[in-house]
Structure 1
Amino acid sequence: MGTSTHQQGTEPPPDLAETLDDGFLSELCAGLFASIPRMDQRRRGEQYVRGLLLAEGRKSIRNIAALLGQASAEQSLHHFVSSSTWEWVPVRQALAAYVQRAVPPLAWVIRPVVTPKAGRHSVGVDRYLVPESGQVVNAQRSMSVWAVRDELSVPVGWRLHLSRAWLEDGPRRRKALIPEGWEEETAEECAVETYLDIGLERSAGPVVMHVGKADVARTVGRLRAVGVPFLLRISGAQEFRQAPHGGVPLRVAGPVGGRQLLHAFRDFRRPVAHPPHTGTTWRHVTTLPVHAPPVPAHRRRGVDGAGTLLLLGVSPADGGRSDDVWLTDMTDAPLHRLLRLTRFLDRVETDLATVSEEVGVRDFAGRSFSGWHRHVTLASVAHLVAAVSAHEAHRALPQFCH
């Protein structure tokens, strides 16, 4: 589907009450919820998604029940989300499979999501440092996976990142219904496991991710170990060694920061055109083969730290700011394709704020592990409906194959 005209950072989407196609919603939910065994649960699932789309204000169970106008709806919806037995993983896998057929993604963006919370009882809530703002917040922290193309993105996978404080507190863990055997994960492990949970083929497309100042070596190692191609936005201070490559002189002997290394090869910079939604923009792109950052011996379990990668510096053609620094294992990919992929982080950032937030992805007020997972799964379905219902795009989508 290439007919959607949703733009980044432009006017808000139309009122869903006017654009929502009931037939499309019902058909989609029937297919996505086919793994849910009971008919009444599948019906509640569609009602919940409808409520996420149309309820006014915060997408609480109370407000969703008020929209339905049924006296018993609040209790039954609460049970459906927080205390029921249906599995959310098959629903997410069905969602990802449908998106792959209906709006084939060009990449999969892995993005952390921080949800501020007032108390400490919601599952996973802890004190976290937000690198972007430098502030410590009381929040839930999760990883999300988004199927992305130029005109839209859809979240298809989620995973709570649980701290040691939660996993080692037996009573609190049991009260939140955290599964037995759930162990502490690094941020890098959590990110890759979120992707693997969806059950995608390795050929499904590259992963794009903002790593920043996190453990680049560990992230690269985990992705290479599972055979997933990647493009990572990293800190310019991350150190690399230049790798020998035909035609590229060895100018820097030791490990130096990526931005400094790229600057030493600024005469290799070339202009690359990229056609976004309107007009054509140009970027200056510098590329340089580098050795994969070494993984310390005590952290090598389950990672692959060998090989040559490609370092990219991307800046506006007018030289308005310093390079964004990227790292990829797609060393033979055309530069215009890599440049296109760099835009997908912004695509997800926009859609999280203008679509997912509007359908209440952060609005779950319950305290259980299973309740949170079911809510964000249903919110992901609502996001897909909202993203395509604002346009006539859904009329061209394939029907769901049961």
Structure 2
Amino acid sequence: MNARVVSSHRIREGAHDVTDPGDEFSAALFASLRRSDQRLRARHYLSGLLAAKGRKTIRNIATLVGGAAAEQSLHHFISNSTWDWLPIRQALADHVTRVLAPRAWVVRPLFIPKAGEYSVGVERQFVPGSGQVLNGQLAFGAWAATEGTSVPVQWRLHLPESWLGNARRRRRAEIPDSVQAETPDECTTATALTALGRWEVPTRPVVLDTHVTDLGRGIRPFVDAQVPLLSRVNGRTPLIVADRAMPGYRAGAIPARHIMESVQGLRRPLEAARGPVRRTTLVAAVRVRLPRPYSGPELLLIGEWHERGKAPTALWLAAPATAPVGDLVRLTWLAQRAAQDEKQISEQVGVRDFEGRSFRGWHRHMTLASVAHAVSVLAAGADESDEQRFRALRPSA
């Protein structure tokens, strides 16, 4: 992307100057906002996410664009206005895929700790990857990922039954009637498939960087949609060895960890060809099936070891089971790319900082935080020599 498109300049609100990410970029992403005042507020909010010091609350953002009066207008813009965030996410996904050409869509959980109980979705709930039950919001994001960078383009907030089944809480948080109860597994799947199904983005493998509880139900929608899938697997997950040449064939369901430990003699070194993670790792793979009642095609269980110990450091299931193992392992490394960018970029532009209480406010903040993440990524990687490439790829306003 050309540096001039995302380079900052100054816009004015009252007596204050703020940093603006650029006219062309803003016009392309905010074209769905019909009113000029909404487009201006979106640019102000985006600029504040990029430039405000400390937590990216509406109050801190407003200090850059006019103080108390601006705070009131920005609060209304985020929490009470009528604009739809989905067209902006679609424009962002289109723009990012055109410029970055992602290799995969990484879906990973985002837990947002909260001390109170009034923000939408806040509940004591299990945090994937931590093994803890904590108080806060649980969301899932879909990231367009390459070896060098990643950008979140879609978010889905998991709403516990304590919210959806409570008419008072639901009404107070302005949760639409169309939002129905779903498990974290269903939330994970929907995060990926709603983006791939509704938006004209290229089909790429989906990497589920979370432990899916019900693998049969979790994998089936991707198989049906013919979307290649890699899903992280718990070592205790029971699987059936499908390769008659491998240990454990006809032994019934065996924990995934034990299957991989039995074939550690087949491990082969794999070196990252490029990207942020440069290392040699050891990998092995076994064709497996899920226990009944799942009746889908064979899957590929992949184990990765960083050292020559007995326990693998990562386990993944791939569907279909036909792609080269090295290519699949390199795709799993994109999950680390997204995790790193979440910490180093998304957190810096306020992805966890929204203090409002409404469902719509949360989604609007997350949308603009994703745009701020994209601005940071594209501006950091901008090169004047890319002028011709960008002009061929940029979306129309």
Residue 114 of structure 1 pairs with residue 111 of structure 2: yes
Within the candidate set 113, 121, 126, 1:124 is matched to 121
Question: What pairs up with 1:1-400 in 2 under 5 angstroms?
Answer: 20-22=7-9, 25-69=22-66, 71-198=68-195, 199-200=198-199, 204-212=203-211, 214-244=213-243, 251-277=249-275, 281-295=279-293, 305-316=295-306, 318-319=308-309, 322-393=312-383, 396=386, 397=390, 398-400=393-395
Q: Shift of residue 125 of structure 1?
A: 0.5
Q: Letter of the 2:290 partner, please give it.
A: A
Partner amino acid, structure 2, of 1:369: F
Q: Say whether the 8 Å CA contact 2:211–2:232 is kept in structure 1.
A: yes
Change (3 A) 1:388 1:181: closer
TM-score normalised over the length of structure 1 = 0.87
| Structure 1 residues not aligned, in runs of 5+ | 5-18, 296-303
Alpha-carbon contact 1:105-1:148 (below 8 Å) kept: yes
Q: Deviation at 1:112? A: 1.0
**What RMSD in Å do the two structures reach over aligned CA positions?**
2.5
Distance 1:305 1:105, change over 3 A: farther
Label 1:257 to 1:248 Cα distance change in 2 as closer, same or farther (>3 A). Answer: closer
Identity %: 42
Q: CA 1:117–1:80 in structure 2 vs 1: closer, same or farther (change >3 Å)?
A: same
Q: Which amino acid aligns with 1:106?
A: R
Structure 1 residue 188: Cα displacement: 1.6
Measure the CA separation in 1 of the matches of 2:21 and 2:291: 48
Map Cα deviations across residues 134-157 of structure 1 (whole Å, 9 max, x no partner).
332110111111000011110000
Cα gap change, 1:201 to 1:33, in 2 (>3 Å): closer
Distance in 1 of aligned mates of 2:321 and 2:132: 36
Task: State the one-letter code of the partner of 1:364.
Answer: F
Deviation >4 Å, runs of 4+: 200-203, 247-250, 317-321
- For residue 373 of structure 1, what is the amino acid of its counterpart? H
TM-score normalised to the size of structure 2?
0.88
Task: Say which SS state the counterpart of residue 111 (structure 2) adopts.
Answer: strand
Shift of the 345–185 alpha-carbon distance from structure 1 to 2, 3 Å rule, reads same
Deviation readout 1:64-108 (Å, 9 max, x if unpaired)? 111113552111111111011110111111111111101011000
Evaluate the alpha carbon distance shift between residue 253 and residue 87 of structure 1 in structure 2; reply closer, same or farther with a 3 A threshold: same
The CA deviation at 1:205 is 0.3
Contact 2:141/2:154, CA 8 A, preserved across alignment: yes
Provide closer, same or farther for how the CA distance between residues 42 and 293 of structure 1 changes in structure 2, counting only shifts above 3 A: farther
One-letter amino acid matched to 2:263? F
Rounded Cα–Cα distance in structure 1 between residues aligned with 2:295 and 2:33: 41
Q: Which amino acid aligns with 2:373?
A: H
C-alpha distance after superposition, 1:258-283 (max 9, x if no partner): 12112222333222232234795322
CA distance in 1, matches of 2:181, 2:277: 47
Distance 1:201 1:91, change over 3 A: closer
Query: How much does 1:382 deviate?
Result: 0.2
Q: Deviations over 1:34-90 (max 9, x none)?
A: 111111111111111011000111111111111113552111111111011110111
Q: Which residue of 2 aligns with 1:7?
A: none
- Partners in 2 of 1:20 and 1:52 — Cα distance? 15
Q: Which amino acid aligns with 1:361?
A: V
Q: Structure 1 stretch 151-160 or stretch 273-282: which is displaced more?
A: 273-282
Write the letter of the residue equivalent to 2:83.
W
Change in CA separation of 1:129 and 1:110 when aligned onto 2, cut-off 3 Å: same
Q: Aligned partner of 2:204: which letter? A: G
- What is the CA–CA distance in structure 2 between the aligned matches of 1:389 and 1:279, rounded to whole Å? 22
- Give unpaired runs (5+ residues) of structure 2: 10-19
